[in-house]
Structure 1
Amino acid sequence: MGSLTKTVVFLCVASSVLCTPFINQLQPGQEWPTRSSVKQPYNQAEPEPTVGGVTKNEEVDVPAVVDEEKATDDDKPIETLDDVVERIDYTGAQVWKVSTMKNNAQRLINQLASEKLIASWGGNHTSIDILVKPKALENVTAALKTKDISYYVMIEDLQQRINEENPPLDENELELQDRRGHRMTWKQYHRLEDIHGFMDYLAKTYPSIVSVKTIGKSHEGRDLKMLRISDGKPSNKAVFIDGGIHAREWISPAVVTYFINQFAENFDVESDDIKNIDWYFLPVVNPDGYEYTHKTDRLWRKNRKFGYGPSSCTGTDLNRNFGYRWGGKGASSYPCSDIYRGSGPFSEPESKAINDFFKSSAVKFSAYLTYHSYGQYLLYPWGYDNALPPDHKDLESMGKLIAQAIRNTGGSNYQVGSSSGLLYPASGGSDDWAKSLNIKYTYTIELSDTGRYGFVLPASYIEPVARENIAGVRVLARQLSKI
């Protein structure tokens, strides 16, 4: 299937303020259209992704082998039958934290994973969180005890946690939605339609500072929507913030949209540190995967691009698909792996759209923040190997200032360090790629928590996590103003 990605020319307001250009130059004969001359998505019906294949998941630990009918027309969205596929049930599955301090621990974990008894949720140099299938509980317990490897159960019944994660809004919140003009609340995890509708609402309500553009399409034809907040001063610095690269990490788009709301709604009273930055937000990098986690498999990680070859497994880990040091440590060439790197650098339409935007942009970014979950880490490059960039002391210092602001605001402790040094090597990450573009302050922020809930953090945590993290963003802005 050929890439559906198309670089979309961004619009700039021809008004009393001068906007930071989105691209280096216009094509010959073109001019910037005024904001009101182009219809926004809230003014026109947006076609739903149409149907092309049925996914069958045989195992609880995804990605699973799929049987999919390949579409052949590159010019139309790929259709899906997610709505009619039965939800994957994790009843009885548990999540354990396993110590890896003993020499044989990681080898045993790898063996259990290869036998499809467990799936990794993440870890560091001292422990790893694993999902244990219901039928494998006795075998995995016996294997760990035989090797005298310690562990404890963090989640007794994963499906119960999933059921409790995102309760419906009460009547007061629903009424507030109607009065507000959009459906975002930050008391609930929202579907992509709500997130995109919220972005369009802000562009319509605050046209002098907010603009929304689509930088490309996902594999299934969904928009990759970016929002910019800017007062148009040519002296402004620029910061890029994204979320939702990994589909199951719901707290990430929720936090990024919280940032957007705070800055847009309160821009007039914001400090000069905030006003003197052009803020670029891409809240959902992986819209297909994100929707799939809401409809079919809560724990899906990758995008939804069809697989090829004998395995026919679906999806690429977008955070292993970026072009700097692609294909190295911590990335798999096996399409069924959760950390599958893709067929080549930027082989996926979602990562390619981001790369194309940066290649064509005249903006000189001072910082790149990409939000993930979970673990409470502030990570800087390099991730591809246990190495450090020349300015690692600056990155460490800034990271500690951000972590201190988070701790002072909400009490959460975020560890600061390089991705490979604090966690593990992972090549093809967006943070390494951003650093390779000479964006100085580049961080991957792994949001709350540290494992009690993991990927299924209850919606009641959205606002506390977002509040403490926006305090960190404010510190970054303040430091950038001094440079």
Structure 2
Amino acid sequence: MQVWWLLLPLSCLSLSTGLQKANKYEGYKIYEVTLKARSSPLQFAFSELSKNDSYYEVFSASGGQPARVMVHPQEQVNFVKLMDEHNANYEIVNRNVGLTLSRQFDTDRMLRNWFPYNGRLGTERYYSHGEINQFIEDLAKEYPRRVFVKTVGKSYEKRLMKTVTITNGDGRRNKNVILVDGGFHAREWISPAAVVYLISQLVDNLEENADLLKDYDWVILPVVNPDGYEYTQLSADTRMWRKTRKPSSDSCIGTDPNRNFDFHWNEEGASENPCDNTYAGSKAFSEPEALVVGDLIHSYADRGKMYLTLHSYGPYILYPWGWSEDLPETVDDLHEVAKAGYDAILEATGTEYVIGSSTLVLYVAAGASDDYAFNAGFSISFTMELPPGGTGFDPPASDIDHMVKETWVGIAAMARKVVTKYPLS
């Protein structure tokens, strides 16, 4: 595998003249800015910039962490002027987003030819929604007593949304449940990749993970937003799409499915503008994809002990609340489980996650799935934001292997803490 990745950049260079075409992100730059405090004037300026998404996209802007913002070529002079006015420390981390995305698209296309689906999903490349569905179907055929696939709904464009339930095969019913999902936001490809790796670990390494399956079943929905996920794989122009694909107005498409849940829906941190990336939808659960997740949460709420939704990018382990600065009464339990994941990852790879409530650590995000699951009865509910790669949301395929293995280390540690802390009644 090392040889492939040594040769791949040379292949891209040799093909760049014939394959690279200017796309909608040509000339866009990504700046990384140090924000000193949550309430600083610069933090407020970033909040205002995020409202002008025709020229700016603020990828991250949480207090104490570097903020990244993608800027349209026509606004770069004004942006630099704004940074200078605030005496901000900043650097350019990507000088041409369009060129980066075009090269990545060509690489991904070559990898699909080099590594066709063969019954297993490795870490050599990103896989389509159809390939992921086929993978879990094939697992169910191979392990008919341990793996069960169920179609739980359809997306707006009628793609089948399937869960895979993983057990140890002992046939016992009414075990506790860990519910996991990925792929809420279309461009966050590393999320479904991490979920697929998690599935493989639980299925293929039963002896090693017997403690995680003795009294617990795992129910996993690999891709919540299949329409958006497939759309991002069409071209470099569509790679940064975030939302669903159902028209939200006469001129705009899509809703942020992670602002569409019926718990403090359409409050702070969500937008009423159908064109915005954080558009909450016309009503709670207006998106069939969010409704599927909501139904899953309620289906397992009586047995569910941990809900985990994987996103990028962070690195963060976030717990409720996302709609308020208030903390749940059981915040110590939430923090204890999150700390187990933090410690395991830090020891294994040196990556340091940030732990805390969504609102206090990152930003206000009302109407999200983690708050909904926690309110529905899951004792532990987390959003895990994986580390950045590439321009932020687009780690190259060469990063998949180490990122998903690192993520599994944290998930397994948190699950072991949950299994110990919440034994089967």
Instruction: Report TM bin, short chain.
Output: 0.7 to 0.9
Residue 112 to residue 171, structure 1, CA distance change in 2 (3 Å): closer
Partner of 1:475: 413
Q: Summarize the Cα distance change of 1:306–1:404 in structure 2 as closer, same or farther, 3 Å threshold.
A: same
Residue type of the alignment partner of 1:304: R
Shift of 1:113: 4.4
**Given the alignment of the two structures, is residue 199 of structure 1 paired with residue 140 of structure 2, yes or no?**
no
C-alpha contact (below 8 Å) 2:297/2:373 kept by paired residues? no
Residue equivalent to 1:61: none
Question: 2:122 matched to 1:181?
Answer: no
- Residues 1:106 and 2:43 are matched in the alignment: yes
Partner of residue 220, structure 1: 157
Partner of 2:6: none
Q: 1:381 aligns with which of 295, 312, 320?
A: 320
CA contact (8 A) 2:298 2:376 kept: no
- Write out per-residue CA displacement over residues 29-67 of structure 1, whole angstroms, 9 at most, x where no aligned residue: xxxxxxxxxxxxxxxxxxxxxxxxxxxxxxxxxxxxxxx
- How high is the TM-score relative to the length of structure 1? 0.76
- Classify 1:185/1:247 alpha carbon distance in 2 versus 1 (closer, same or farther; 3 Å): same
Match of 2:217 among 260, 278, 283: 278
Q: Which structure has greater helix proportion?
A: 2
Consecutive unaligned residues in structure 1, runs of 5 or more: 1-85
Matched, 1:293 2:232: yes
Give the direction of change, closer, same or farther, for the CA distance of 1:88–1:200 in structure 2 (3 Å limit): farther
C-alpha displacement at 1:139, in angstroms? 2.4
Q: C-alpha deviations, 1:142-179, integer Å up to 9, x for none? A: 2322333332112222123324446358899947x57x
Tell me by how many angstroms 1:382 deviates: 0.4
Letter in structure 1 aligned against 2:100: R
Which of the pair has more CA radius of gyration?
1
- Out of 160-169 and 397-406, give the one that drifted further: 160-169
CA contact (8 A) 1:112 1:140 kept: no
Query: What is the match of residue 12 of structure 1?
Result: none
Give the SS at the match of 1:96: strand
Structure 2 unaligned regions, length at least 5: 1-20
**Partners of 2:142 and 2:197 in 1: CA distance:** 17
Change (3 A) 1:323 1:453: same
Q: Is the 8 A contact 1:249 1:373 kept in 2?
A: yes
Q: Equivalent of 1:151, from 57, 72, 90?
A: 90
Moved more, 219-228 or 259-268: 259-268
Note if 1:465 corresponds to 2:370: no
Alignment of 1:353-432 (within 5 A): 353-361=292-300, 364-432=303-371
Quote the sequence identity (%).
Answer: 36
- 1:94 corresponds to: 29
Report which stretch shifted further, 117-126 or 211-220: 117-126
Q: Which amino acid aligns with 2:33?
A: V
Tell me the equivalent position of 2:273: 334
Q: CA deviation at 1:192?
A: 1.3
Matched ranges for 1:125-144 at <5 A: 125-126=63-64, 127-144=66-83
Separation in structure 1 between the aligned mates of residue 335 and residue 411 of structure 2, nearest angstrom: 15
Q: Deviations over 1:268-314 (max 9, x none)?
A: 553323343201111100000001111141001110111235xx311
Separation in structure 2 between the aligned mates of residue 362 and residue 445 of structure 1, nearest angstrom: 20
- Displacement of 1:363 after TM fit? 5.5
Instruction: Measure, in 2, the Cα distance between the counterparts of 1:466 and 1:447.
Output: 9
* 221 and 138 in structure 1: CA distance in 2 versus 1, 3 angstrom threshold: same
Alpha-carbon distance between aligned partners in 2 of 1:171 and 1:374, rounded to the nearest angstrom: 24
Equivalent-residue separation in structure 2 for 1:335 and 1:171 (angstroms): 35
Asked if the contact 1:173/1:185 (under 8 Å) is kept, the reply is no
- Residue by residue over 1:412-434, the C-alpha shift from the partner in whole angstroms, topping out at 9 and shown as x without a partner, is 11111111111111100100000
Give the TM-score normalised by the residue count of structure 2: 0.86
Taking the aligned partners of 2:51 and 2:205, their CA distance within structure 1 comes to 51
Given the superposition, is the C-alpha separation of residues 463 and 125 from structure 1 closer, same or farther in structure 2, using an over 3 Å criterion? same
Query: Using a 3 Å threshold, how does the CA distance of structure 1 residues 274 and 460 change in structure 2: closer, same or farther?
Result: farther
Q: How far did 1:333 drift?
A: 0.8
Go from structure 1 to structure 2 and tell me whether the alpha carbon gap of 1:362 and 1:93 turns closer, same or farther (over 3 Å shift): closer
Deviations 1:310-335 (A, max 9, x none): xx311100010011111111011111
Matched position secondary structure for 2:91 = strand
